[in-house]
């Protein structure tokens, strides 16, 4: 049941400000650990992703490596403070939600986080090595690849983010069906159009090469099919609402009967007695 809060709009803004400041403070506290882990993370990513012919990368400005480590440290700090930040955001949103909404939102957050991490891990484990091997295959005795560390990290970051976002496809499909925006039948009928949309989005999220676009579009299409399969077992919110209405106060759902004024009861009794006397008088006159 939604908790009634007498707070004003300004009080809610103040609570939101405290929540955002707490999230920012947690990120700042995690930043030293992120900066300490950044060099090791960059080296591990290079060892895993780059083939032997590209085992050595280069930097072309004095501060390029420092900037790369700084960016990686910020990302690691964001990952480390993510659980606490989500906890604070959940505390801010919780009073405004009903019990069934709280349960649904918790499930969506967990699944979304797991899918995002799965997308990033899939990109690091398979896509980046294949892409770097494909890039190294163009090398010849007269053509030597010289790749900068900043360029590689920008490519890796863009691909990891793109795969994490596109792995949210099952969540998006189930949400559309859950809230009645579209039906499963229409999703099945719109498969050709969705393929075009997936290719366009993959082209926007990935670097400007066909290989990375195809490597992102194929798993996204499979996830779209998984989303349709899961959505076919999801009932729309209207049907769930009919069976399990939200836990609202009964005073809002059913108005109690209004008591009749005492004068109305007295008048009703007097009218009944008067009608009875008239009937008796009429019967006596007939006799």
Q: Please tell me the total count of domains within the chain.
A: 2
pLDDT digits (tens, 9 = 90+) for 229-243: 888 877 665 554 444
Phi, psi of 182 (to 5 degrees): -150, 155
The answer to whether residue 172 is domain-embedded is yes
User: Which positions ≥6 away from 115 have C-beta within 8 Å?
Assistant: 164, 167, 168, 170, 171
% the chain with pLDDT above 90: 18
**pLDDT (0 to 100) of residue 71:** 93
Q: Is residue 131 located within the same domain as residue 172?
A: no
Q: Is residue 85 located within the same domain as residue 27?
A: yes
Q: Is residue 97 located within the same domain as residue 123?
A: yes
pTM of the entire structure? 0.70
Q: Is residue 50 located within the same domain as residue 156?
A: yes
Residue 7: how many CB atoms within 10 A of its CB? Answer: 11
Residue 94: how many CB atoms within 10 A of its CB? Answer: 14
* Domain boundaries, position 186: 168-246
For the chain, what is the mean pLDDT? 79
Query: Counting Cβ atoms within 10 Å, is residue 68 exposed (0-12), middle (13-18) or buried (19+)?
Result: buried
Position 78 confidence tier, pLDDT thresholds 50, 70, 90? very high
Q: Is residue 202 located within the same domain as residue 75?
A: no
pLDDT digits (tens, 9 = 90+) for 7-53: 577 888 888 899 999 999 999 999 999 999 999 999 999 888 887 77
Phi, psi of 140 (to 5 degrees): -135, 170
Q: Is residue 86 located within the same domain as residue 227?
A: no
The answer to whether residue 260 is domain-embedded is no
Q: Is residue 215 located within the same domain as residue 237?
A: yes
The answer to whether residue 175 is domain-embedded is yes
Q: Is residue 18 located within the same domain as residue 151?
A: yes
Q: Which residues pair with 148 in a beta bridge?
A: 58
Is the distance from CB of 162 to CB of 216 less than 8 angstroms? yes
Tokens representing residue 237 in the block: 């919110």
Q: Is residue 155 located within the same domain as residue 108?
A: yes
The answer to whether residue 97 is domain-embedded is yes
Mean pLDDT along residues 275-282: 58
The answer to whether residue 279 is domain-embedded is no
User: Taking the mean position of all CA atoms in its chain, how far away is CA 209?
Assistant: 28
The answer to whether residue 257 is domain-embedded is no
Q: Is residue 128 located within the same domain as residue 51?
A: yes
């Amino acid at each position: 049941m939604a908790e009634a809060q007498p707070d004003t709009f300004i009080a809610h803004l103040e609570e939101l400000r405290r929540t955002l400041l707490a999230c920012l403070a947690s990120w700042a506290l995690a930043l030293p650990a992120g900066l300490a882990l950044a060099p090791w993370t960059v080296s591990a990513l290079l060892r895993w992703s780059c083939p032997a012919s590209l085992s050595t990368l280069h930097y072309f400005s004095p501060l390029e490596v420092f900037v790369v480590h700084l960016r990686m440290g910020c990302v690691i700090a964001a990952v480390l403070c993510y659980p606490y930040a989500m906890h604070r955001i959940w505390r801010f949103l919780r009073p405004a939600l009903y019990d069934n909404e709280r349960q649904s939102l918790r499930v969506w957050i967990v699944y979304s986080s797991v899918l995002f991490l799965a997308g990033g891990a899939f990109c690091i484990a398979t896509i980046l090595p294949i892409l770097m091997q494909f890039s190294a295959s163009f090398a010849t005795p007269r053509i030597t690849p010289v790749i900068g560390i900043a360029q590689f990290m920008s490519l890796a970051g863009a691909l990891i983010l793109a795969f994490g976002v596109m792995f949210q496809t099952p969540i998006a499909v189930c949400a559309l069906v859950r809230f009645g925006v579209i039906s499963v039948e229409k999703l099945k009928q719109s498969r050709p159009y969705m393929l075009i949309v997936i290719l366009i989005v993959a082209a926007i999220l990935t670097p400007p090469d066909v290989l990375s676009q195809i490597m992102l579009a194929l798993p996204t299409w499979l996830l779209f099919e998984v989303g349709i399969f899961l959505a076919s077992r999801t009932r729309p919110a209207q049907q769930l609402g009919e069976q399990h209405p939200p836990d609202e106060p009964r005073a809002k759902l059913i108005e109690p009967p209004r008591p009749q004024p005492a004068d109305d009861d007295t008048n009703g009794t007097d009218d009944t007695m008067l009608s009875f006397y008239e009937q008796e008088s009429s019967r006596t006159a007939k006799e």
